[in-house]
Structure 1
């Protein structure tokens, strides 16, 4: 294997690469911080603040309420919630109980939610009395093995005046909570003292979170993340900041907490450092800019489309960004042009990182200080090993100088997939030295200083006349055109060559360019086998639940159109 281990002299993160992290439970980390600074704010929700002590007491009452219902250690409890204070109370309450959190996206359909409820064996589901959530949850209650719902209300979590305004203005967005013995109000669940006994946790063995993968191919799989996995990744991410402990730590929580990126970088890491989460129910550019101005937030994790949306919003020109210090981009490649534009507009540092559900969120990141390495996802986090293996045979190294599939080892790597030993056998590779490596499906290169560059995903590669074409390389060229805002390249069937690349783009506001002109500009810059058969200009490109461009959904759209036509 080609490990690409960075030398001490080349490693640019503040903590040494060979640092170790003791296995600790997420409950222990939370309890320590709540005891240390109970009166400090943990949540700012639309102007209402909740202290560490208040969230701790709410989590205790959630745990005791669940225990009184008969739930306990090892049970799977689902969170079907947006970013609201209920999420933190439920998250830590479930973990205190010794149960396992299962994250579910509020964007799931009934069929998707029911499938994952049954697959995980989720017994109880937390949700809200929102028309976008409760009707779906009630249908899943009838269509799956789910036993109970616990239903909260947003109005009760808002500041008093906003609560009244919400009840008046948002009546049509609130669903009636039915009188059903299987449905419990959140307020009734926590109507206790919170003084029940809590179980002892084994950080390395107890599953804290089942995080379902995005399902790029086939059905999503549940990554089992232990307490030790999550706490290690929180410590690793916190260690990246050379300014840790020297000033205000206030993070804009606009990424959805049900996603692993936010779970580590917004929630777990911020609790570990004693920071404050400025929580928004969902990403909205205007609301995010207003929250930044109101609170003086210091950091903002997001995906590239979020940073682009902020740049596109007219309020950006008048927003005070002076407090904003660090923004971390993940989930999709960050175009160099977008990075520079954001830095010019805000003065904040925007760094690119990389991670997976199976890695508790984060594997590598560019250093916060110093010149970035162009086109790189940075150096591995402390304690993380990245190696390259042959794309066809993971037991061998790749040919010298050629890209290889990235494999990972570290304290944040998952225990395995929930009830999927077949998938575990495919994703894990053991080496004679006793290291258990996890295959990523991503093809990369590692430079002599240990900086990693993703070439593409194995499953995304396009086979053109026997040659492998990487869509991301064509997309990178397209981003150099001043009119191109977003780009996706997919492979389409071709009778002669097997597959042919085709590009789909959106344009910058006010830009004028058509597909043939863009193709004529693009193709001379590509190898003969990489050249696209067309560039299609669209008003929008499909995106995932967290706002990153979705190649899978674009392929599905194009395939459906071809079948219909």
Structure 2
């Protein structure tokens, strides 16, 4: 069904109203970047780097290991990790095995994680070797289907000298003890074959990721997102963001193959950080600086400023508090932040004053977006230029997307301009449904004019 053109001349120049070609497995994003740019750096962590070839090689080995453990299509595997360089390899490895990722908040308590593992029916979990995270994972296993636990240590992902000295001084975090029968990530990778199994994926139907959401308003629900949901999101985002990438240059889509470096401070377990940072950097064959704790440093957030300067970060996705943290940081003037070119803001309204201050200090452009975990997450966005954007607005529905405002009581009657209502979204990014929750699915999906709408 063709989309009607927007009755405005502010639709971003060059952005197509409709795109195609997104019905393919999500892991092909990594495969394609590794094929075109094998030696390009993908992850950066404390100065240590991993190329796209290395990440793909590790992902293939993770997939081979999972299959050897009897895990494949139709199974779920949990990722209980902060923003470590292991994350993309584990994530894509699970997908390459044909299984579904269940991304978990690393700050969960044992009861919270236990609920998620039970509800998703996870058969395996990847967790960090850490005095807090690993014991939490162990305590959460009771009554679950988890039979495979993989412990991810950071020593081998640090620069060699830093890893050696840190190990000798006992400064590298690790759990006090490990349960028998649990696997270490480095051993898994070393023993597995660098060959992912051949799996048949139906991109529009097969779930790639289950992201739990809504815990503040009730029992968390697992938003089940397909491979196509994510690939569409990446393609739409890549078409939408057009910025000058050199002094005096014209706005254009992000150049690929090492032209950009993303700040990886948003958590990868969440749809915002997962898609806009970890996956989009992969899609564009760019680097991503993995930052497990953006509050690190003295005063807090100093580590982020150091990373921006050291690695010349160009793309800064964040929530409003992250932009406030930069503009109000007492040491801001000591750091060169001029490398930043484009910033996407979401999660909450961005005060215009904060945006203006941030742009004045960095020379960048901030544009606000709107979305949810249920839309993987991008649904609407402001134009990525100062002339077209509008503060206090979430912008336009992105390509292939229809947004309506419906009455909140029935979710059926469309409201007129100026009336309050509930946002309803239809497009290729809308989730398949909530995991194992037919009651909620019946409430949030309505068909209007032949289109399937999600009621937010």
Q: Which residue number corresponds to residue 302 of structure 1?
A: 318
2:122–2:144 Cα contact (<8 Å) kept: no
Unaligned segments of structure 2, at least 5 residues: 243-251, 296-300
SS of residue paired to 2:240: coil
Given the alignment of the two structures, is residue 260 of structure 1 paired with residue 271 of structure 2, yes or no?
Answer: yes
- Return the offset for 1:404: 2.1
Q: Which residue number corresponds to residue 23 of structure 1?
A: 23
State the TM-score, normalized to the length of structure 1.
0.74
User: Aligned equivalents of 1:116 and 1:171: distance in 2?
Assistant: 32
- Alignment counterpart, residue 378 of structure 1, candidates 363, 372, 395: 395
Q: Which residue number corresponds to residue 186 of structure 2?
A: 187
Residue deviations 1:342-374 (CA, integer Å, cap 9, x gap): 122222212211110000011111111132212
User: Aligned equivalents of 1:146 and 1:171: distance in 2?
Assistant: 30
- Return the offset for 1:298: 0.5
Q: Which residue number corresponds to residue 253 of structure 2?
A: 244
SS of residue paired to 2:217: coil
Given the alignment of the two structures, is residue 282 of structure 1 paired with residue 260 of structure 2, yes or no?
Answer: no
User: Aligned equivalents of 2:419 and 2:31: distance in 1?
Assistant: 48
1:407–1:438 Cα contact (<8 Å) kept: yes
SS of residue paired to 1:352: strand
Residue deviations 1:286-344 (CA, integer Å, cap 9, x gap): 11111111111101111111111122222211211221001111111111121122122
User: Aligned equivalents of 2:146 and 2:360: distance in 1?
Assistant: 50
Q: Classify 1:390/1:272 alpha carbon distance in 2 versus 1 (closer, same or farther; 3 Å).
A: same
Q: Which residue number corresponds to residue 368 of structure 1?
A: 384
SS of residue paired to 2:141: helix
- Return the offset for 1:425: 0.6
Residue deviations 1:366-385 (CA, integer Å, cap 9, x gap): 11113221211111111111
Q: Classify 1:400/1:92 alpha carbon distance in 2 versus 1 (closer, same or farther; 3 Å).
A: closer
User: Aligned equivalents of 2:200 and 2:405: distance in 1?
Assistant: 39
- Return the offset for 1:13: 5.5
Q: Which residue number corresponds to residue 245 of structure 2?
A: none
Q: Which residue number corresponds to residue 221 of structure 1?
A: 221
SS of residue paired to 1:342: helix
Residue deviations 1:92-138 (CA, integer Å, cap 9, x gap): 10000000000001100000000010000011100111112001011
User: Aligned equivalents of 2:417 and 2:237: distance in 1?
Assistant: 32
Aligned 1:428-467 pairs, distance under 5 A: 428-431=445-448, 433-440=449-456
1:256–1:262 Cα contact (<8 Å) kept: yes
Given the alignment of the two structures, is residue 416 of structure 1 paired with residue 433 of structure 2, yes or no?
Answer: yes
- Return the offset for 1:18: 3.0
| Number of residue equivalences | 436
CA-based RMSD: 1.8
Pick which of 343-352 and 14-23 moved more.
14-23
Given the alignment of the two structures, is residue 71 of structure 1 paired with residue 87 of structure 2, yes or no?
Answer: no
2:22–2:235 Cα contact (<8 Å) kept: no
Q: Which residue number corresponds to residue 136 of structure 2?
A: 136
User: Aligned equivalents of 1:170 and 1:258: distance in 2?
Assistant: 28
1:8–1:16 Cα contact (<8 Å) kept: no
User: Aligned equivalents of 2:394 and 2:334: distance in 1?
Assistant: 31
Q: Which has the larger radius of gyration?
A: 1
SS of residue paired to 2:369: strand
- Return the offset for 1:6: 2.1
Q: Which one scores higher on RCO, CA 8 angstroms, separation ≥ 6?
A: 2
- Alignment counterpart, residue 364 of structure 2, candidates 315, 330, 348: 348
Aligned 1:90-105 pairs, distance under 5 A: 90-105=90-105
User: Aligned equivalents of 1:151 and 1:253: distance in 2?
Assistant: 22
